[in-house]
Amino acid sequence: MTLFFKSKSLLKYFLLFSLLTIFSCGDDDSDGDAFENVTQLASKTFQLFPVEDPSISGTAKFIKNSNETVTVEIQLIGAEEGNLHPAHIHFNTAAEGGDIAITLQAVEGETGFSTTTFDVLDDDTIISYEELLDFDGYINVHFSESNLEDIIAQGDIGQNELTGTTKSYALGSVDFPAISGNATFSQRVNNETLVTINLEETPASGEHPAHIHFNTAAETGAIAYSLNTVDGTTGESKTNIDAISYNNLLDFDGYINVHLSDTNLDVLLAQGDIGQNELTGTSVTYNLSAVSDPSIMGDITFFERFNGEALAVIDIINTPNGAMHPAHIHAGSVATAPGAILFTFTPVNGDNGVSKTNVAMLDNGTSFVYNDVLTVDGYVNVHESMDNLAVLVAQGNIGANN
């Protein structure tokens, strides 16, 4: 009888120990499963573009994890084996530059891969996946820890990402015939603008100031927005513009100047009208025949602008150097001359025979735009000088009289 009770007691202890062991093991497995079951809920991929080496580019994939962390996976193509490339998320746009916000794991040259999981910035500020998608930042991948100035890949992220919508404007040569290029306006997700200038044949090692000015290039105007200087070695400049939206910039009454240097702002490398002043590609040309000197002749071309106004370009050959030749649209035709002055052009420069004038209204303030030029009852006179208006160097009918 005593043995029986002892056996039952031992059995109870054995069963209790077994149950505790089972529950203990179950808890361990549960913890392990929680770690292993972190899942990816969403992702967004940003492009990383070449900087120093055109063969290196890639992507940065931002992953939202179920445990409220974020993983950034960088994948580069063209990286060299044996190198470790530091990577960071910086504040601001790449064009502006900025301090490091988040230090990422270095990219291995052999695989071109890096992965970093985090939930705070370097200063311990909490950051979520959603906040990163709206982050004012960019990614830099550097050549090495000892050579951080050399960047092998770079890309704007978050609200600074480019939408893919762009507009390009031609920048024509001015004082150096070989130098020309373009300015590309790229829209960001936040509707700010990346302005990229690319010029060909700029002098190596030069630093060329660039600005967006008010008005047309023919009228000239004050500086509206200063752009980053154009690097003469690469011919490139990149600037972020946030004071005016992308959409408003496309309708801006302005033009771009690229200057030789800070000490030679009067010397222009390239120039082009932008926004509403851009030329549509539609134009009309009228001959300007010789009058007092049979060797001096040329033409006048009216170029339509997107805002309906016109750029008038007079081009005369064999004008004497140093001379300035007044030019006007007169009422009537050459056959019925003289007629009253309707419109005054910028004088023709004798050194190059060229005059450029924006056409928007007559001298009396009446609207006068491209379509009005096509039907005006008028003719153009180019005079010898302000002191000799009676002497004509070139003349021709325009509009309805052509």
Per-residue model confidence as pLDDT tens digits over 108-160 = 999 999 999 999 999 999 999 999 999 999 999 999 999 999 999 999 999 99
Nearest residue to 248 via CA among 274, 270, 218, 215: 274
The pLDDT assigned to 118 comes to 98
What is the pLDDT at residue 85? 97
What's the pLDDT score for residue 40? 96
The Cα 217–Cα 174 span in angstroms is 11
pLDDT digits (tens, 9 = 90+) for 313-342: 999 999 999 999 999 999 999 999 999 999
Cα angle 54, 55, 57 (rounded to 5 degrees) comes to: 90
Helical H segments across 292-399, by residue range: 370-375
Per-residue pLDDT of the chain (402 residues; tens, 9 = 90+): 443 434 444 444 444 444 444 444 444 444 444 456 999 999 999 999 999 999 999 999 999 999 999 999 999 999 988 889 999 999 999 999 999 999 999 999 999 999 999 999 999 999 999 999 999 999 999 999 999 999 999 999 999 999 999 999 999 999 999 999 999 999 999 999 999 999 999 998 899 999 999 999 999 999 999 999 999 999 999 999 999 999 999 999 999 999 999 999 999 999 999 999 999 999 999 999 999 999 999 999 999 999 999 999 999 999 999 999 999 999 999 999 999 999 999 999 999 999 999 999 999 999 999 999 999 999 999 999 999 999 999 999 999 999
* Helix (H), strand (E), coil (C) string for 357-381: EEECECCCCCECCHHHHHHCEEEEE
* Helix or strand run (H / E) with residue 69: none
Could you tell me the domains of the chain? 41-158 (2.60.40.200), 162-275 (2.60.40.200), 279-399 (2.60.40.200)
| Euclidean distance between the first and the last CA atom of the chain, given in angstroms as a whole number | 135
Residue 68's region, left for phi above 0, alpha for psi from -120 to 50, else beta, is left
Cα 44-121-66 angle, rounded to 5 deg: 50
DSSP 103-142: EEEEEETTTTEEEEEESB-TT--B--HHHHHT-EEEEEEE
Both structure tokens of 139: 């990614």
